[in-house]
Amino acid sequence: MSADLYLYAAIFLLALCSVICRAGYLVFGHLMPLSDRVRSALRYAPLAALTAIIVPELLPWHAQYGPLLDFKLAAAIVAIWVFRFTRSALLLIVSGMLALWLLRWVSML
Amino acid sequence: MPGLVALIVWGLVTGVAMVKSDLSAQSAALMSLLVYAGSAQLTALPLIAAGAPLWLIFAAGLIVNLRFVIFGAALHPYFKTMSWPKRLLMGYLSVDVALVVFMPRFNDAPVKGTVEQHWFYLGAILTSWFVWQLTSLTGIVLGAFVPASWSLEFAAILALIAIMMPLVNNRPILVSILTAGLVAWIAQPLPLRLGLIAAVVAGSISGIWAETVNRNRRKVR
């Protein structure tokens, strides 16, 4: 499969995800009441998926050298710490980026 | 409005992240217009970059978007009198910010499904759509001028953390996330990023388990 086709197929499938998840219940909801058990499973799955995307970026695992430590982990910890005090998503992103740049700059001195 | 600020930052970051992960400006714009789901787009970027199989990208997109099924269930009483093509369109354009504005206002409304509610919701989703597309396109254009050494794609990861943080507000969710994180870390050598699926299964099961334990402990007291 060519790279372009792969990319367009991925975009199309993701658009389909948006339609299914967002409109699905509004269109067919009268046919499928959700049980409490299903509702709670639906609550945990998205956060688990986001975690699974974030973790390999912060704690990469190299094929040869095994687990690696990266400045990104330290930067993310700083960002989370800032968020706990400020409750601001903007400050979380800004402080995380600043921390990453600072750590890299210090390590190059 | 804090919701609008979040949308602006989020749109910019997603726009920049798309071009920084090697999407061309055209395909990034197409993705923004059609998919219109920041978290799903940001989730898919590392998978696309790693050449993950299409079914896994589709599955990851579905899982990240699952919260909208809950939103849909919350919105259903207000829109059940509408024709299905309208419900399809309203649903497709639904985003978190619109729901956050809509629900507190009409949660206790005595009649659900009034014309006023429909117009209010339509206004909220259309505003969100235009703000998102505008900022996302701005990000796509700006992204081309930002050098790779700034690692701005890391802002996308930070943005994902920023969505998660306010939702991590009780112990079962914390248990679920820690389990998912541990599984995702250990499972990295697995091919095709299958660790994602393993982490979602482990996270959901441990979350429900922790919820049950929590409830039983409360009963004993």
Q: What's the alpha-carbon Rg for chain A, to the nearest Å?
A: 20
CA atoms within 13 A on the CB side of B179: 24
* Residue pLDDT, tens place only, A25-61: 889 887 877 777 777 777 788 788 889 888 988 988 8
8 Å CB contact of B66 and A46: yes
Contact B170, B176 (CB under 8 A): no
Helix axis angle for B96-106 and B115-143, nearest 10°, is 160
Any domain includes A18: yes
If residue A109 lies in a helix (H) or strand (E), which one and from where to where? none
8 Å CB contact of A37 and B94: no
Domain ranges of chain B: 1-165, 168-221
Q: Could you tell me how far CA A65 lies from the centroid of its own chain?
A: 25
pLDDT of B221: 60
Contact B96, B124 (CB under 8 A): no
- Whether the pLDDT of residue A1 is over 80: the answer is no
Per-residue confidence in pLDDT tens, chain B, 221 aa: 556 777 887 888 899 989 988 789 999 999 999 999 988 998 899 899 888 999 999 999 998 888 788 778 878 889 988 899 999 999 999 887 787 778 778 877 888 889 899 999 999 999 999 999 999 999 999 988 888 788 877 887 888 888 788 888 889 999 999 999 999 999 888 766 678 888 988 998 999 999 889 888 877 66
Domain extent, residue A8, equals 1-33
d(CA B129, CA B126): 5
pLDDT of B189: 81
Any chain B CB within 8 A of the CB of A100? yes
Pick from A12, A40, A51 the residue to mutate for testing the B interface (most B CBs within 10 Å).
Answer: A51
What pTM does this model have? 0.79
8 Å CB contact of A48 and B39: no
Q: Which residues contact A88 (CB under 8 A, 6 or more apart)?
A: A82
pLDDT of A10: 96
What residue of B is the nearest CA neighbor of A25? B72
pLDDT of B2: 58
Any domain includes A3: yes
Pick from A2, A5, A16, A27 the residue to mutate for testing the B interface (most B CBs within 10 Å).
Answer: A27
The ipTM, to two decimals, is 0.82
Q: Indicate the number of domains in chain A.
A: 1
Any domain includes A87: no
Chain A segment 17-56 residues within 8 A of B by beta carbon are: 17-27, 29-30, 34, 37, 39-56
Q: For residue A12, list chain B residues with Cβ-Cβ distance below 8 A.
A: 34
Nearest to B158 among A13, A45, A79 (CB): A79
Q: What is the secondary structure of B45-93 as a DSSP string? A: HHHHHTT--HHHHHHHHHHHTTHHHHHHHHHHHHHTTS-HHHHHHHHHT
Q: What is the secondary structure of B163-221 as a DSSP string? A: HHGGG--SHHHHHHHHHHHHHHHHTTTSGGGTHHHHHHHHHHHHHHHHHHHHHHHHHH-
pLDDT of B127: 93
**Among candidates B15, B30, B39, which has minimal Cα distance to B140?**
B15
